[in-house]
Every structure is written in C-alpha cells, then in structure tokens.
Amino acid sequence: MFQRMSEISALEPIPFSLNFPIGKFDPPADPDWQAAAGRAQAIAGIADLPANLRAAVHGLSDPQLDTPYREGGWTVRQLVHHVADSHANAYARVRLALTEDWPTIKPYDQARWAELADARTLPVEVSLDLLESLHRRWVVLLQSLQETDWQRGYLHPESGKQTLGVVVLLYDWHSRHHTAHVAQLRKRMAW
C-alpha cells in the first residue's frame, strides 16, 4: 500500500484514476503501520518528496507546466505550488501539536489558494526549493519524536482529531499522490 514512486513503475498495472492515481488515503488499520517501522517508511516518503517531485517536472516547458493534470484539475504549476502550501501548513500543524494540547487548527481553501497569482504564474523552482528546505527541517523533527509524541495531534474542524501517527502517513500518501499526477500526465501526453 505504501510504495515508493520508483517501485510503482515496476509493479503490474495499478487501477488508475485521474483524481487518485495511487488510490484514496486510507489509514491502515494495522497498528504496526502506526508503529516505528511504518512511521519510518512514511518519514522516508516525506524525505523523498522534494527529489521525486523535482524529477517529475524536470524538463517540462512552460506550456506543459500550464497543462492541467486532468480535465477540470490544476495545472502542473499549480499542483507544485499546492504541495508547497499544503506541506508548509502540515509542518506548522505538527509543531503546534507538539507544543500545545490538541490545538484546533485553521483549515484553508486549497482551491482558492491555487488560484492566487503566485500559484498560477511563478516558476515551479520557487516551490521546489521551498520544499527541499522545509522537508529537511520536517524530517529532522519527525525523526526526533518519542513514542508518546506520536499520540499527540490536533483537531481539524472538518476532519476531527488527527494524531501525528496518522498525519505522517497522510503526508507520505500526499507526496506520492501528487507526484503520481505529474508522472501519469507525462505518460499520457508522451512527454
């Protein structure tokens, strides 16, 4: 279920969806996935995201970056900036969860953020560079957590309580999910 991008291309065909190319996030019921080994694999996925996303968009022209990954979806450019926005928010939320007692976090309208001028026009390199630095800090923080820290979390007004043990799995999935959007678009368009 939690495969690296390099492993996905080597597998037999996976049921494909333009919206959810690796499937929807479904936290594993197996408690071992929320134990040290599962978390370590998820942290490795988060660590891999900057290089994987950079590789996925490498060599794309501006017209290609401005192509939606699916009909009615964001452009590749907006998607890259969305990942930076989302992961910056997630990093801050993890820090809040570690320093406050079950804080209520503020959601944001990701669709409206993707329509702001910076997300529609800036070179993707800006967000790729941000992701490299952000993930370097985030991974060090996640690797430093003690067992009891993983049961801490925050209250999302729309999704309810989220433990850091689930959050790390979610953002590993999110990293692979959006990288797969770009990889699948390149494959469909023969780029």
The contacts of residue 2 (CB under 8 Å, 6+ apart) are 33, 38, 41, 42, 45, 169, 172, 173
The answer to the question of residue 39 being in a domain is no
- Helix axis angle, 164-189 relative to 76-99, nearest 10°? 170
The answer to the question of residue 13 being in a domain is no
The answer to the question of residue 52 being in a domain is yes
Instruction: Kindly report, residue by residue over 45-79, the tens digit of the pLDDT.
Output: 999 999 999 999 999 999 999 999 999 999 999 99
The answer to the question of residue 170 being in a domain is yes
The answer to the question of residue 15 being in a domain is no
How many domains does the chain fold into? 1
Residue-level pLDDT at 4: 38
- Name the amino acid, one letter, at 6: S
The answer to the question of residue 17 being in a domain is no
Beta bridge partners of 163: 153
- Domain range for residue 95? 46-189
The answer to the question of residue 12 being in a domain is no
Mean pLDDT taken over the chain: 90
Burial 141-174, CB ≥16 within 10 A → b, else e: ebeebeeebbebbbeeeeeeebbbbbbbbbbbbb
Instruction: Kindly report, residue by residue over 108-132, the tens digit of the pLDDT.
Output: 999 999 999 999 999 999 999 999 9
The answer to the question of residue 150 being in a domain is yes
Residue-level pLDDT at 30: 63
Q: How confident is the model at residue 11 (pLDDT cuts 50, 70, 90)?
A: very low
Instruction: Kindly report, residue by residue over 135-148, the tens digit of the pLDDT.
Output: 999 999 999 999 99
Q: How many residues does the chain have?
A: 191
CATH number at residue 95: 1.20.120.450
